[in-house]
Homo-oligomer: A and B are copies of this chain.
Amino acid sequence: MADGTTRDHIVKAADELFYRQGYEHTSFAHIADAVGISRGNFYHHFKTKDDILGAVIVERLANTREMLAQWESSNEHPFDRIRAFIHILIANRTEIMRHGCPVGTLCAELAKLEHASQAAANELFTLFRGWLGRQFTLLGREAEADALAMHLLASSQGVATLANTFRDTAFVEREVERMGAWLAAEVPQH
């Protein structure tokens, strides 16, 4: 993961391009141009395009795990941690309005392609699902923790999809506020 090696440049460029234009629509030529290397050089670092996707997913999983672990190890209240998750929609709204949610759009594309890395990409969702579930458990909602986590995930996915379609900042802010109100209503004892 150390920044500087050619391999890391490839993964980073592929990560961005897969997000912005989709996996299938991104060719070796696109990535090569972005990194500034020749096409033939790929084979030395990755045997196939699928391998690049695999490396991108591994990196995204690592980054997500690190982010969630950092949130979890902080001494913030679980309620505020969940609010931080919701706030991703605000922090990344420009990118989300342009290209949708990086997780949701990747999983949707790989599902259509019936791609072998589907399960690996879905694991990104599972990370958030498990993390959110743990926070709800800490808030005393253990019995429904997973259902609440899934509901919150679905809410943010829906907002991301429509934000991408209608490019409406006010809509995103309105829905984020609504999600905050929902959270406060579900966990009033915080």
Q: Which residues of A contact B (CB under 8 A)?
A: 20-22, 24-25, 99-100, 104-105, 107-109, 111-113, 122, 125, 147, 150-151, 153-159, 161-162, 164-166, 171, 174-175, 178
Query: SS class of chain A's interface: helix, strand, loop or mixed?
Result: helix
Partner of A161, one of B161, B165, B171, B174: B161
Residues of B within 8 A of A151 (CB): 175, 178
* Residue with the greatest number of chain B CB neighbours at <10 A, chosen from A21, A108, A159, A178: A108
Task: With CB as the reference atom, state the residue of chain B lying closest to A20.
Answer: B112
Residues of B within 8 A of A20 (CB): 112
Residues of B within 8 A of A125 (CB): 162, 165-166
Contacting pair A112 B158 (CB below 8 A): no
> How distant is A128 from chain B, measured CB to nearest CB, in Å?
11
Contacting pair B107 A165 (CB below 8 A): yes
Report the separation of the CA atoms of residues A175 and B158 in the bound assembly, to the nearest whole angstrom: 13
Contacting pair B154 A158 (CB below 8 A): yes
Residues of B within 8 A of A174 (CB): 147
Report the separation of the CA atoms of residues A160 and B144 in the bound assembly, to the nearest whole angstrom: 21
